[in-house]
Amino acid sequence: MHVDTVVFDDGRPRNTTSPRMHNVLGWDGTEPARLRAAAREELERYPWVRVVDGTVRGARRETDIELDTPGGPWHTENLLIAAGVEDALLPVPGLAELWGDLVLPCPYCHGHEHAEGPIAVISSGAHADHVGGLLRGLTDEVPLFRPDEVASVTRVGDRALITRHDGRTREVAAVFIPPNPTPRSHIATDLGVRVETDGIVVDALGRTDQPGIWAAGDVARRLDPHIPAAVVTAMAAGLTAAADIASTIAPPPRDGVRGH
Ligand SMILES: Cc1cc2nc3c(=O)[nH]c(=O)nc-3n(C[C@H](O)[C@H](O)[C@H](O)COP(=O)(O)OP(=O)(O)OC[C@H]3O[C@@H](n4cnc5c(N)ncnc54)[C@H](O)[C@@H]3O)c2cc1C
């Protein structure tokens, strides 16, 4: 839509430790970095879009929106926050080292690949019931471990070894844990945008409660908690918000009708 756009990105996407990405039609099993590299290349075709590598450290509302960027203050009328989330993993030794590979958050993305089983769940309560139920549709053995009974998780070849505090061990094909996502950036709160524990509050178009500010992807609260946080849903939310931003910027239509 020939809208002058600057993308600030410090290159730490949520699935960065994952060697393979699933549920992205046409890219199944691809390393996530390849998709991002292709996207960067595609953006170069559009002179209205500039990508700046670096962290936006903060933001404040003046007459417009001022971002604290690596090159100094940056002023904009409209802002789309798509800064993603980071996962506060359970404090069990070994989980962080295997995160994205043998320790995983989402059965839809990575369950099938480990269906030879057993697939362990380290969790409790409603999360354990939900994820355990999904995994039992893929494999017969889904051992459940409470987080406080696990001493460590280590790699053994292409499998994971769970060691309990009492010394007992269990070798499994993969381990699923709750992701515990928290926003990667405090830009939304800097700008007084309404943020709940499950993300920035947005409507179906990605509009926040503050004029000129949209949010999309994992950082935004999904309209229904059962909508997966995934690459394709993030892309779809980004497109939806981008279209709404372009339509907001466009001159008013002569017949009063927007959309297409
Ligand atoms: C281990 C793991 C495996 C996954 N596997 C899959 C899978 O197979 N298939 C699937 O569909 N989904 C998968 N997901 C989910 C998927 O990664 C996310 O849903 C998706 O990345 C969300 O996209 P996003 O654009 O909202 O955020 P992200 O992909 O996290 O991108 C946010 C970007 O914003 C940048 N950023 C953040 N703050 C700032 C700042 N202040 N300044 C500048 N830049 C900033 C980050 O560096 C990053 O590049 C997985 C998630 C995890 C944790």
* CATH at residue 72: 3.50.50.60
**Mean pLDDT within 232-246:** 98
Does 114 sit in the ligand 1 pocket, CB within 6 Å?
A: no
**Mean pLDDT within 219-229:** 93
User: Could you tell me the distance, in angstroms and rounded to a whole number, from the CA of residue 104 to the centre of ligand 1?
Assistant: 14
Does 237 sit in the ligand 1 pocket, CB within 6 Å?
A: no
Q: Is residue 221 within 8 Å of 210, Cβ to Cβ? A: no
Query: Nearest 5°: CA angle at 162, between 156 and 163?
Result: 110
CB atoms closer than 10 angstroms to residue 164: 14
User: Could you tell me the distance, in angstroms and rounded to a whole number, from the CA of residue 254 to the centre of ligand 1?
Assistant: 40
The residue among 122, 175, 126 whose CA lies nearest residue 150 is: 122
Q: Do residues 95 and 168 share a domain? A: yes
Ligand 1 site-directed mutation target among 9, 12, 15, most atoms within 8 Å of CB: 15
Instruction: Give the pLDDT band (50/70/90) at residue 250.
Output: confident
Q: Is residue 115 within 8 Å of 139, Cβ to Cβ? A: yes
Q: Do residues 77 and 51 share a domain? A: yes
Q: Do residues 132 and 241 share a domain? A: no
Beta pairing partners, 181: 87
DSSP 175: E
Q: Do residues 11 and 79 share a domain? A: yes
SS3 category, 41: helix
In a domain, 142, yes or no: yes
Which atom of ligand 1 is nearest the CA belonging to 8?
43
Instruction: Give the pLDDT band (50/70/90) at residue 95.
Output: very high
Give the integer Cα–Cα distance in Å for 226 and 192.
27
Does position 130 have pLDDT exceeding 90, yes or no?
yes
Q: Do residues 36 and 58 share a domain? A: yes
Comparing 170 with 252, the larger pLDDT belongs to: 170
Give the integer Cα–Cα distance in Å for 260 and 250.
13
User: Could you tell me the distance, in angstroms and rounded to a whole number, from the CA of residue 72 to the centre of ligand 1?
Assistant: 25
Q: Do residues 242 and 196 share a domain? A: yes
Does 18 sit in the ligand 1 pocket, CB within 6 Å?
A: yes
In a domain, 205, yes or no: yes
Write out the two tokens for 21: 């990405």
In a domain, 257, yes or no: no
User: Could you tell me the distance, in angstroms and rounded to a whole number, from the CA of residue 14 to the centre of ligand 1?
Assistant: 3
Does position 41 have pLDDT exceeding 70, yes or no?
yes
Q: Do residues 9 and 72 share a domain? A: yes
Q: What is the mean pLDDT of the chain?
A: 95
Does 131 sit in the ligand 1 pocket, CB within 6 Å?
A: no
Region of residue 196 (left: phi > 0; alpha: psi -120 to 50; beta: else): beta
Domain endpoint, select from 129, 153, 176: 176
Provide the domain limits for residue 129: 90-176
Q: Do residues 145 and 80 share a domain? A: no
Mind listing the pLDDT tens digit for each residue in 131-172?
A: 999 999 999 999 999 999 999 999 999 999 999 999 999 999
Does 13 sit in the ligand 1 pocket, CB within 6 Å?
A: yes
Beta pairing partners, 183: 85
Mind listing the pLDDT tens digit for each residue in 102-124?
A: 999 999 999 999 999 999 999 99
Who's near 82: CB < 8 A, 6+ residues apart? 215, 216, 217, 219, 234, 238
Beta pairing partners, 119: 174
Ligand 1 site-directed mutation target among 40, 76, 184, most atoms within 8 Å of CB: 184
Instruction: Give the pLDDT band (50/70/90) at residue 185.
Output: very high
Q: Do residues 156 and 189 share a domain? A: no
Give the per-residue pLDDT at 135.
98
Q: Do residues 41 and 109 share a domain? A: no
User: Could you tell me the distance, in angstroms and rounded to a whole number, from the CA of residue 228 to the centre of ligand 1?
Assistant: 13
Give the rounded distance of the alpha carbon of 200 from its chain centre.
Answer: 13
Domain endpoint, select from 176, 203, 219: 176
* Structural domain total, the chain: 2
